[in-house]
Amino acid sequence: MKRLLITGAAGTLGGFAREHLAGFADELRLSDVTPVTDLAQHETFVAADLGDKDAVEEVVRGCDGIVHFGGISVEKGFDLIERANLRGVFNLYEAARKHGNPRIIFASSNHAIGFYPQGQRIDADAPPLSDGLYGASKVYGEQLAVLYWQKFGVETARVRIGSCVPKPLNRRMLSTWLSPRDMFGLAKCCFAVPELGCPVVYGASHSDTSWWDNSKVAYLGWTPQDSAETYRAEVEAAHPPETVPEDESRFQGGVFTAYPIYQS
Ligand code: NAI
Ligand code: 15L
pLDDT along the chain (264 residues), means of 10: 98 98 98 98 98 98 98 98 98 98 99 98 98 98 99 99 98 98 99 98 98 98 98 98 95 98 91
Atom of ligand 2 lying closest to residue 73 CA: 4
CB 214 within 8 A of CB 162: no
Q: How far is CA 10 from CA 61, 124, 140, 211, in A?
A: 20, 30, 24, 30
| Helix runs in the chain, H state only | 12-20, 53-60, 78-81, 88-98, 133-152, 173-176, 180-192, 229-238, 246-250
pLDDT value, residue 66: 99
CA 199: distance to chain centroid? Answer: 13
Check if 12 has its Cβ closer than 6 Å to any atom of ligand 1.
Answer: yes
Residue 77: count of CB within 10 angstroms of its CB: 13
Question: Regarding the domain delimited by 3-258, which CATH topology (the fold level of the hierarchy) does it fall under?
Answer: Rossmann fold (3.40.50)
Distance 160 CA to ligand 2 centre (A): 10
pLDDT value, residue 264: 78
Spatial separation of the C-alpha atoms in residues 33 and 23, rounded to whole Å: 24
Task: Tell me the whole-structure pTM to 2 decimals.
Answer: 0.99
The enclosing H or E element of 109 equals strand 103-109
Check if 106 has its Cβ closer than 6 Å to any atom of ligand 1.
Answer: no
Distance 129 CA to ligand 2 centre (A): 15
Distance 189 CA to ligand 1 centre (A): 22
Check if 109 has its Cβ closer than 6 Å to any atom of ligand 2.
Answer: yes
Domain ranges of the chain: 3-258
* Closest ligand by atom to 137 CA: 1
Q: Which of 114, 55, 113 is nearest to 84 (CA)?
A: 55
Specify whether 148 is catalytic. Answer: no
CB 137 within 8 A of CB 228: no
pLDDT value, residue 233: 98
